[in-house]
A and B are shown apart, each in its own frame.
Chain A
Amino acid sequence: MNVLHERSGKIKPIAGGTDAIIQLKDGLLQTRELLDISSLGGLRYILREGSTVRIGALSTYSEIIESSILKSSCPTLVDASKTIGVIQLQNRATIGGNLANASPAGDTIPPLYVLAATITVQNHGGTRSIPIEKFFLDYRTIDLRADELITEISFEAVEKPCDATFLKLGLREAHFISVANLAIWVRWAPDGKSFSDVRVAMGAVAPVVLRAKKCEEFLRNRILNQNAVWQAGQIASSESSPITDIRGSAEYRRAVIPSLLYKAVHRLTESRRMWDRP
């Protein structure tokens, strides 16, 4: 923290390095000095305290994927982490690094949006906590000062009657960057026919990950059927502002959002059905 403070603006922290080293090779880093934090064991933990899950920012995807706490408290984040890169990357890349890199296609970000996660950052003077939606300001711009480090990500465990899921569309089966992705968190109404609360977040379809608030409003307390869910998907699509790039056109991205939402709700409905089995 002292080094970051004294050399503020001149030095950039590097964690697993799977994004930063590529930027270094491409000459895209803004600073000439790097501060390697990858061996700070104190920021590698996954804990559950009461209903709160706390993840140290330097936890790797492999640690998230293997965490029994997360498998039971938030399988969605485990599923999202499994889709990121391949084993060699998962062994190095960290969740804090994924947030700091702030790619609009970052795959841990939509799940953390719908979990309403809190990001804790620290500098030599103290810590502050930021709701994740306030943390991402604009395309690759985050609310993190040059002398601050992301230290922790925390959220409430997902337990009945709540559920969550994550879906990602890519161009091949392994090791791909999202063309579009979508996370959804819901609280089932007691009769299991509607969501009494719902949060939807979409990635790679806007400069920053986006909450589909109109879609959420439409779905809240509405009896779920095919028409309603397709309509909700169309609303979500109208809330996006995708670009055309090497991985897909804006039109394609808009067109796949309803399918992602439909599949996600279908998956939640299937798993809700399992709850009622004796």
Chain B
Amino acid sequence: MRERKFWLRLNGEKVSVSSPPAHTLLEVLREKLDVTGPKEDCGKGECGACTVLMNGKPVLSCLVLISQADGAEIVTSEGFMKDGIPDFVQKAFADNGAVQCGHCIPGFIVSTEALLSRNPNPSLADIKTAIAGNLCRCTGYTSIIRAVEHAARKK
């Protein structure tokens, strides 16, 4: 497939990248731009491990083509760090034992950041809805929900 040049505003920085237009945003992030927070697990929109913010909204980067993201603002879990220091959400996950193998966590971080940016005082039901699209096979979710509640109090 012929490559084309695409622009992204990625974690605050303008980047350009060449890719076949039908490759997914996730493939481009991981393989071309070395942004490996988002993961590919199912590749079908079931697991949420590839969640990123696109123009401020959480989307599944495995189900967005790079050509559909041209010119978009993309934020991955890495984008919430300041000078290499975890932000309050990332810290809440670590402090509450919400991270076991860690594989799904970048997706949970992005979903949590999206929730708290539009709803600083989420109910338990709001939290469950916000992370319903993220699967975790280690924690059983209890510690993750506790981490989100903790982060909301810190906001």
Contact code string A17-43 (vs B, CB < 8 Å = 1, else 0): 110011011000000001010110000
- Minimum distance in angstroms from A135 CB to a CB of chain B: 25
Question: Any chain B CB within 8 A of the CB of A141?
Answer: no
For the complex, what is the distance from the CA of A268 to the CA of B29, rounded to whole Å? 48
Decide if B133 touches A39 in the complex (CB within 8 Å). Answer: no
- Minimum distance in angstroms from A253 CB to a CB of chain B: 23
Q: Name the interface residues of A193-213: CB closer than 8 Å to any CB of B.
A: none
Decide if B133 touches A87 in the complex (CB within 8 Å). Answer: yes
Q: How many A-B residue pairs have CB under 8 A?
A: 69
Given contacts A22-B45, A36-B68, A91-B57, contact A85 B133 (CB under 8 A): yes
Decide if B65 touches A36 in the complex (CB within 8 Å). Answer: yes
Chain B interface, DSSP helix/strand/loop, else mixed: mixed
Given contacts A34-B22, A88-B58, contact A39 B43 (CB under 8 A): no
Interchain CB contact (< 8 A) of B63 among A18, A36, A175: A18
Contact code string A64-101 (vs B, CB < 8 Å = 1, else 0): 00000000000000000000011111011000000000
Decide if A89 touches B43 in the complex (CB within 8 Å). Answer: no
Question: Any chain B CB within 8 A of the CB of A255?
Answer: no
Question: Any chain A CB within 8 A of the CB of B44?
Answer: yes
Decide if B45 touches A88 in the complex (CB within 8 Å). Answer: yes
Question: Any chain B CB within 8 A of the CB of A178?
Answer: no
Query: For B68, what are the chain A residues with a Cβ–Cβ distance below 8 Å?
Result: 14, 17, 36, 38-39
Question: Any chain A CB within 8 A of the CB of B48?
Answer: yes
Decide if A88 touches B22 in the complex (CB within 8 Å). Answer: no
Q: Name the interface residues of B63-121: CB closer than 8 Å to any CB of A.
A: 63-65, 67-68, 111, 114
Decide if A174 touches B129 in the complex (CB within 8 Å). Answer: yes
- Minimum distance in angstroms from A108 CB to a CB of chain B: 17
Smallest Cβ-Cβ distance to B57: which chain A residue = A91
- Minimum distance in angstroms from A17 CB to a CB of chain B: 6
Interchain CB contact (< 8 A) of A24 among B22, B45, B54, B58: B22
- Minimum distance in angstroms from B106 CB to a CB of chain A: 13
Q: Number of A interface residues, CB 8 Å?
A: 22
Question: Any chain A CB within 8 A of the CB of B59?
Answer: yes
Given contacts A87-B58, A91-B59, A92-B59, contact A17 B65 (CB under 8 A): yes
For the complex, what is the distance from the CA of A179 to the CA of B57, rounded to whole Å? 29
Question: Any chain A CB within 8 A of the CB of B24?
Answer: yes
Q: Name the interface residues of B21-49: CB closer than 8 Å to any CB of A.
A: 22, 24, 43-46, 48
Query: For B129, what are the chain A residues with a Cβ–Cβ distance below 8 Å?
Result: 87, 174
Question: Any chain A CB within 8 A of the CB of B147?
Answer: no
Smallest Cβ-Cβ distance to B62: which chain A residue = A21
User: A residues engaging B (CB < 8 A)?
Assistant: 14, 17-18, 21-22, 24-25, 34, 36, 38-39, 62, 85-89, 91-92, 173-175
Known contacts A89-B63, A92-B59; 8 further A-B pairs (Cβ under 8 A): A17-B64, A21-B62, A21-B64, A34-B22, A86-B133, A87-B133, A88-B45, A92-B63
16 A-B residue pairs with Cβ-Cβ distance under 8 Å, sorted by A, are A14-B68, A22-B44, A36-B67, A62-B57, A85-B45, A85-B133, A87-B111, A87-B114, A87-B130, A88-B45, A88-B59, A89-B133, A92-B59, A92-B60, A174-B129, A174-B133
